[in-house]
Amino acid sequence: MSTRRLTTAFEVSGSVLAMAYALLIASNTGNEVLGFSLLLLSSGLFAGWALIDKRWTFLLLQGFYATSAVIGLIRWA
């Protein structure tokens, strides 16, 4: 798989998971663990994209999001 195809796959799937996370958390329906799990997966995909494209500031941001996801999972699990 080419680098461009891989980064596109990471970008699209990471974005979809991040949107699902936001909707689950905002809905306040008791799906917080699932939502924060999706955030963790999303940040992992975005981190992969950042590594491939050498976007170091974006990688740092994904570290923050992953940390937020872990805190959310600990808090709600």
Provide the domain count of the chain: 1
- 77 CB-near residues (< 8 Å, 6+ apart): 33
Q: How far is CA 18 from CA 2, 3, 36, 61, 75, in A?
A: 24, 22, 9, 14, 19
pLDDT band at 2 (very low <50, low <70, confident <90, very high): confident
> Residue 9 is part of which domain span?
3-76
What is the pTM (predicted TM-score) of this model?
0.93
For tokens 């905002």, name the residue.
Answer: 26
**CA nearest neighbour of 68 among 26, 38, 30:** 38
- What was the pLDDT predicted at 62? 98
pLDDT band at 1 (very low <50, low <70, confident <90, very high): confident
Is 13's pLDDT higher than 80?
yes
Backbone angles phi, psi at 54, to 5 degrees: 55, 50
